[in-house]
Structure 1
Amino acid sequence: MSRQAQGAILLTLGATLLSISAFSTTYVNYVKPGFRPLLMGAGAVLTVLGLLSVVADLLNRPSTHDHGPRVAWLLTAPVFALVLIAPPALGAFAARRTDGPPAPSRTATYSALAQSEVTELTLGEFIGRAYAPSDPSLAGRKVRLIGFAVPGEGGRGWYLTRMHIRCCAADAFALEVAVHGAPAPAEDSWVAVTGTWMPWRDGVPDGYGAPDFTATDVTGIEQPAEPYE
């Protein structure tokens, strides 16, 4: 592969990284928001290296060219797939195929909930509070949760779900709350659900189980700017 071709590949990679991080928020479908500066920096470095390689080849073309294996061009295949297809954030398909999160800590402490008619919580905090044996903060409190709909197995009920990532989409797992009292929205549709926690019938379980939630209102919403927790 010639130096000019190598430079073209670097330019393509760099421009793609910049396009999804510096000029759009597409990158949050794959990594946490905190990685944006790193993606922008990597894109800028690759772009500069690509330009230098192309310019150097134009200014000092060798008499013979080493074209190298054409298979090297396959490096650009994931880039074009990202640009042309733009895979969305993980949804119901991925949620069904994760093993679920580890059992939440039973020693976690939370601050008192605000004294408002409806309190908005993340799914992670809601589940954590539901698992805290000494924290009755959810009892009788009306809360609002946001996530996407995942039908239960065999069409029995549905789950309000949000994918949690530590670093990137590769390590994602599903946070789920079993919703009762409201018909299931379309699969993968984003909704805001208002309702109350249903306390555990037999006490806090040893392993992980989706807490039950009685819904009084389900409203369709747009996908949040940051789809993961």
Structure 2
Amino acid sequence: MTQSGLLLVIGVIASVAAFNGIYLNFVKPSLRIPIVLASAILLLMGAYGVWEDRRHPDWDDEDVAVHHGAVAAEGAHAEGHGHGHDHAHGPRVGWLLVVPFLLLAVVVPPPLGSYSAAADTGIITVTTADGLGPLPEGNPLDLTLAEFQGRALYDADRSLEGRRVRLLGFASPAGRPGEWVLTRMSLNCCAADGFAVKVAVEGAQPVGEDEWVEVVGTWQPAPLATPGEERLPVLVVEDLRRVGAPENPYE
């Protein structure tokens, strides 16, 4: 019953996280369906275990093993162990396994933010402009930070030149007092492998760490980097607006 109860609790919490959007703090949106399927399997397994336990409340471990066709494996155990006491109930300490999931239901950890961005030692995370294609119409033009970084640093056609663009991200430390960079965290799979995509801003007012902003401006070619130094793409800010965090905080 303990094992079945654990499966039910974990399945419920996982399914709730998948449907209310909490899962987006930890994994990419494309993993929602696998999470739903996994939680459904856990719920079915847990429900089956509870049903079996209620059908046969007096079964002990040997009876359960025989029921599942493990007579040979359990024969020696049954002979030497006897039936002098009841094995039907697992240790109550097993319920401690559900504590992390209950905490997740009560206190939702935030998505990766400025602390993770500051700890990310990589500066340039996009290394090519291949596959981006021509820029669409729009004034200002909405771009992700990754696309802006790719075009700003590697597009030989300088497609960003003269175009007003709008970027969305949060503020993270720039490494120098009083300065900040526009940042979005990106995931390969889940939050464990998240990395920061950063764009330097010029002419922007001070913004607190982890504060989400929408900035409009134009690309400015960065000066040549000294040997061993990498320079971020630069956006000269014309307008800055503080906004709430998007439903999906990652690119």
Q: Take 2:244 and 2:89, find their aligned partners in 1: how far apart are those partners?
A: 49
What does residue 41 of structure 1 align with? 37
Name the Cα RMSD after superposition: 2.2
Q: Structure 1 stretch 69-78 or stretch 188-197: which is displaced more?
A: 69-78
Q: Where do 1:99-118 residues align within 5 Å? A: 99-100=121-122, 103-106=125-128, 108-118=130-140
Identify unmatched segments of 5+ residues in structure 1: none
For the pair shown, the structure with the greater C-alpha radius of gyration is 2
Residue-by-residue CA offset, 1:22-49 (whole Å, 9 max, x unaligned): x311111111111111000001110111
Return the TM-score normalized by structure 2: 0.82
Q: Take 1:146 and 1:107, find their aligned partners in 2: how far apart are those partners?
A: 20
What does residue 103 of structure 2 align with? 81
Identify unmatched segments of 5+ residues in structure 2: 60-85
Q: Secondary structure at the match of 2:39?
A: helix
What does residue 52 of structure 1 align with? 48
Give the Å deviation of 1:200. Answer: 2.0
1:11 paired with 2:8, answer yes
Give the Å deviation of 1:110. Answer: 2.8
1:147 paired with 2:169, answer yes
Q: Take 1:135 and 1:76, find their aligned partners in 2: how far apart are those partners?
A: 55
Q: Is the 8 A contact 2:203 2:236 kept in 1?
A: yes
| Identical columns (%) | 39
Q: Secondary structure at the match of 2:231?
A: coil
2:50 partner letter = V
Q: Take 2:45 and 2:96, find their aligned partners in 1: how far apart are those partners?
A: 19
Aligned length: 225
Q: Is the 8 A contact 1:101 1:173 kept in 2?
A: no
Q: Where do 1:1-229 residues align within 5 Å? A: 4-21=1-18, 23-62=19-58, 64-100=86-122, 103-106=125-128, 108-202=130-224, 208-229=230-251
Give the Å deviation of 1:201. Answer: 1.2
Q: 1:18 to 1:201 in 2, by over 3 A?
A: same
Q: Take 2:88 and 2:175, find their aligned partners in 1: how far apart are those partners?
A: 57
